[in-house]
Structure 1
Amino acid sequence: MLVAVGIGPGDPELLTIKAVNLIKKADAVFVPGKVAKEIISPYRKDVTVLSFPMTDDEDYISRCIHENTEIIAPVAEEGLAVFCILGDPNFYGTFGRLCSVLKKTHPKISFDTVPGISSITAFASATGIAINGGVEISDGSEINSKLMLKVRKPKDMSVKLKAEGYNEFILAEKIFMNEQNIFRNGDIPDESPYFSILFARKNNPAEKRSG
């Protein structure tokens, strides 16, 4: 099994207890650079540093990802491999592309993620500002997804968003609580509790080709 663990914005004390426990018990720990290695050094010393270049050369990035999957796969097929990622694994990280390759080359490997403090929430603490109301977040690319908090009538909202070109919907209720529920597309309910998030996305051909 391969688990991506979010290790936060840089302070080793900002790792979750679950993240630390997984890092300590993993058969092998992989990190995408020396910064990540330094962050988890209080909890694990024997880590493998992988190369994930910061470049616009997609061919080179793809080669590195394929090479890294072949390093990770032998551990993930037989035991627990942990891949540590700064921030949160699912917010602008490399884990999605890594998984897309592994699913093709090593389909028996299962995946999971452990959330970490992302740069988005860390920014608010570091700058001392309170964020409320609608917020637009982008890495400079076209906006093709929305996250809406406290959506009490998710089905009505998904109908409105369909008219704007959105065609993928995921509703998460009471995340990581005992009553957690996840609904997708046609299963979106009429009503949801206060602790709910609706995710909407437009199809992105470029994303489908990545990896």
Structure 2
Amino acid sequence: MLVAVGIGPGDPELLTVKAVRMIKEADCVFVPGNVAKEIISPYRDDPVVLSFPMTDDEDYIKKCMYKNADLIVPVAKKGLAVFCILGDPNFYGTFKRLCDIIDEKYPSIEYKTIPGISSITAFASASEVNINGGILITDGSPQDSKILLKVKNPKKIMKNLKTEGYREFILAEKMYMKDQKIFRNEEIPEKSSYFSVMFARK
């Protein structure tokens, strides 16, 4: 099993309890550079540092991804491989690209993610900015997705978003609580909890 663990924005004390436990229990821990290695150093002193180059050379990036997958997969086949990533592994991270390579070359490998504090929520705290109301978050690429909070009438919202060209919908209700539910597309109910988030993608 491969588990990607979000290790937050930089302070080792901002890792979740679950993240620390997974790092300590792992058969091997992998990190994407020395910054991540330093962040987890209070909990693990033997991580394998992988190369994830900051470059526009897509061929070189893909070559490194294949090499990293070849290092991680033997551990994931036999036990627990933990890949630590700054922020959150599903929020503007490199983990998805790594998984695409693993799916292609090693389709039997299972993987999952453990969330971490993202740069967005870390920014709000570090700068003492209180965020309420609608916001736009972008890395400059075309906007093809939306995240909606407190979605009490998800079916109605989904219907309206379809008229704007959105085609993929996921509703998460009471995330990480004992009665968490995840609905996709036509499974999405008429009503939902206050503790709900909807994702929509064109």
What band does the TM-score fall into relative to the shorter chain? over 0.9
TM-score (norm 2): 0.99
Q: Percent identity?
A: 67
Displacement of 1:54: 0.6
Name the aligned partner's letter for residue 28 of structure 2: A
CA distance in 2 between partners of 1:60 and 1:200 (Å): 32
Alignment-derived partner of residue 206 in structure 1? none
Displacement of 1:138: 0.4
CA distance in 1 between partners of 2:102 and 2:142 (Å): 27
CA distance in 1 between partners of 2:122 and 2:163 (Å): 34
Alignment-derived partner of residue 176 in structure 2? 176
**Per-residue deviation, residues 52-78 of structure 1 (Å, max 9, x unmatched):** 011111111111101100000100011
**Per-residue deviation, residues 131-163 of structure 1 (Å, max 9, x unmatched):** 011000001101110000001000110111011
- Flag as ranges the 4+ runs of structure 1 deviating above 2 A: none
Paired residues, number: 202
Alignment-derived partner of residue 154 in structure 2? 154
Aligned counterparts, 1:37-116, within 5 A: 37-116=37-116
Displacement of 1:186: 1.1
Aligned counterparts, 1:18-33, within 5 A: 18-33=18-33
3-state SS of paired residue (2:125): helix
Name the aligned partner's letter for residue 39 of structure 1: I
Two-structure CA RMSD over aligned residues (Å):
0.5
Point out where structure 2 has 5 or more consecutive residues left out of the alignment. Answer: none
CA distance in 2 between partners of 1:68 and 1:85 (Å): 14
Corresponding position: 1:190 with 2:201: no
Point out where structure 1 has 5 or more consecutive residues left out of the alignment. Answer: 203-211
Name the aligned partner's letter for residue 96 of structure 1: K
